Structure 1
Amino acid sequence: MFWLGVPGVDDLTEHLSDTEGTLSTGKLLQTGAFLAVSFIIFFLIIRWVKKTPQISLMDDSTRYAAWAAYVVRAAFWSIFLIGIADSVISFLRIEDFLTPLVGEALSQNLDKASWRGTFVHYPLIAISLVIAKVSRSLGFTWLALLVVISEFCIVLSRFIFSYEQAFMGDLVRFWYAGLFLFASAYTLVEGGHVRVDVVYASMSHRAKAWINTFGSILLGLPVCWIILTMGMDTKQSSLIGPIISFEMSQSGYGMYVKYLMAGFLLVFAVSMAFQFVSYILSNIAILVHAKDAQIAGEES
């Protein structure tokens, strides 16, 4: 919507309340098309639910958990590939190797954050989506190792060779932020977060299900919703603004990935929301005495 300049519901409401109207015919058609697609998707979801009564709550829970894991896998591969590619470009640019290697025209384009983001970062994100679909493994252990190696290289080059560039620190921050935000959602998927089980551990399965359901609805999903709505409310919002403008760091010779780091929180919110929905469905299945939920509860 922001990239295409499609007016939102607030703009449509203002247009309808104004006697003279504030939107052109073209903008009204764009808004109408967006609302139509939204309603079509909504009714398709209802139709799918009614046509597939054989799919249980646990099946849907598993599907949402798989989506959360896929988002995290795709995000991991994206920052891994983009980190390597962008740091190599930045190094070649700083040491004046880029122009002799790729030519004057391409070198000038790679100096622009919008061009590098559109023609280098986005294709790598598309490749990451494919890799995440094919590969079911996650490499957060390797990402942690890469962060350590990157930091070690900075220390080594600074104190032994007296060489340090801005892109080296940018790479560490880029991978470090991704490690914590994406690994948080992945740890939730795997059930690895530390829990205070002094009271919770002695409860029955139904009592735990009630706590998990209301905890996810009242505490988990609202946090994700606040991040998404506050960060993407307008074109100038704190998360969507940097992405649209391809915001870069103040250092002209660093990596051009600052706008992607704003998107880390969006990935975090989406992946966590998927997993919280998965929790809600699986625990409701326990509350309604679904057979597969009882089996899963006994196995756990």
Structure 2
Amino acid sequence: MPSTVQFCRRLADIIDSLNEWIGTTVSWLTLIMVVVTFTIVLLRYAFNFNSIAMQESVSYMHALVFMLGAAYTLKTGAHVRVDIFYQRCGKTVRAWIDCCGVLFLLLPVSGFILYSSWHYVVESWNIYESSSNSGGLPGVFLIKSTIPLTACLLILQGISMFIANLMIALGLHTPVETRRIEAR
């Protein structure tokens, strides 16, 4: 039993680290988006120059920030929640609620997104889909690939959340783990 618990803790830590790294890395794109947007406006109004590719690059970065940042946001507990009864419950009850939320909401929805987006992305790759705008960016198929990738990252983060909350619900947690989960 202890080796199973240790394995689960290690797995959750690896998943958390992966999503932490992806989230912090992709967050830098917001700064780049601001710079590129400023450049687009400056070029348009000061030099009467317009670039469809630059405009589309902002959309690509925006998509990457939201799609790849979703699991990080879930990890940090920054998604919008409607807490009617949740906050009044003890930590064990909250842990069970979170376990049920992962099992009956997060995993099925993420699995559906993964399943339903797969054909869409494969077709995009088959034709190497690019922008429909003249002068637009090639590689629309690459940005569409973030849809199933996001679903996979959410599934992984759901597994990590389930493990952490199950540890609390079953009393197999350490005080440090409890503080980390309650901070979400």
| TM-score normalised per structure 2 | 0.86
Report the Cα offset of residue 56 of structure 1. Answer: 4.7
Whether the 8 Å CA contact 1:58–1:281 is kept in 2: the answer is yes
Distance 1:202 1:253, change over 3 A: same
Report the Cα offset of residue 282 of structure 1. Answer: 1.0
Whether the 8 Å CA contact 1:64–1:275 is kept in 2: the answer is yes
Q: Are 1:249 and 2:136 an aligned pair?
A: no
Q: Are 1:290 and 2:172 an aligned pair?
A: yes
Whether the 8 Å CA contact 1:68–1:272 is kept in 2: the answer is no
Distance 1:176 1:276, change over 3 A: same
Structure 2 counterpart of 1:138: 25
Structure 2 counterpart of 1:63: 14
Whether the 8 Å CA contact 2:26–2:64 is kept in 1: the answer is no
Residue-by-residue CA offset, 1:193-221 (whole Å, 9 max, x unaligned) = 23333421111111101110110111101
Alignment RMSD: 2.4
Structure 2 counterpart of 1:177, one-letter code: A
Whether the 8 Å CA contact 2:26–2:65 is kept in 1: the answer is no
Whether the 8 Å CA contact 2:26–2:68 is kept in 1: the answer is no
Structure 2 counterpart of 1:3: none
Whether the 8 Å CA contact 2:26–2:69 is kept in 1: the answer is no
Distance 1:283 1:151, change over 3 A: same
Structure 2 counterpart of 1:167, one-letter code: A
SS in 2 for 1:279: helix
Whether the 8 Å CA contact 1:249–1:258 is kept in 2: the answer is yes
Residue-by-residue CA offset, 1:219-240 (whole Å, 9 max, x unaligned) = 10111111111122xxxx2122
Residue-by-residue CA offset, 1:38-89 (whole Å, 9 max, x unaligned) = xxxxxxxxxxxx9x5462533332222223345x36xxxxxxxxxxxxxxxx
Identity across the alignment (%): 24
Distance 1:298 1:247, change over 3 A: closer
Higher mean C-alpha displacement, 265-274 vs 248-257 = 248-257
Structure 2 counterpart of 1:161, one-letter code: F
Q: Are 1:209 and 2:124 an aligned pair?
A: no
Structure 2 counterpart of 1:173: 59
Distance 1:291 1:282, change over 3 A: closer
SS in 2 for 1:138: helix
Aligned residues: 181
Whether the 8 Å CA contact 1:181–1:264 is kept in 2: the answer is yes
Residue-by-residue CA offset, 1:84-125 (whole Å, 9 max, x unaligned) = xxxxxxxxxxxxxxxxxxxxxxxxxxxxxxxxxxxxxxxxxx
Higher alpha-carbon Rg: 1
| TM-score normalised per structure 1 | 0.55
SS in 1 for 2:47: coil
Whether the 8 Å CA contact 1:57–1:285 is kept in 2: the answer is no
Whether the 8 Å CA contact 1:174–1:257 is kept in 2: the answer is no
Distance 1:291 1:250, change over 3 A: closer
Structure 1 counterpart of 2:82: 196
Structure 2 counterpart of 1:39: none
Higher mean C-alpha displacement, 204-213 vs 190-199 = 190-199
CA distance in 2, matches of 1:229, 1:179: 22
Which of these residues, 264, 271, 277, is aligned with residue 153 of structure 2? 271
Structure 2 counterpart of 1:280, one-letter code: F
CA distance in 2, matches of 1:206, 1:281: 13
Higher relative contact order (CA 8 A, sep 6+): 2
Structure 1 counterpart of 2:14, one-letter code: R
Distance 1:275 1:54, change over 3 A: closer
Structure 2 counterpart of 1:66, one-letter code: S
Which of these residues, 114, 129, 132, is aligned with residue 228 of structure 1? 114
Report the Cα offset of residue 244 of structure 1. Answer: 3.5
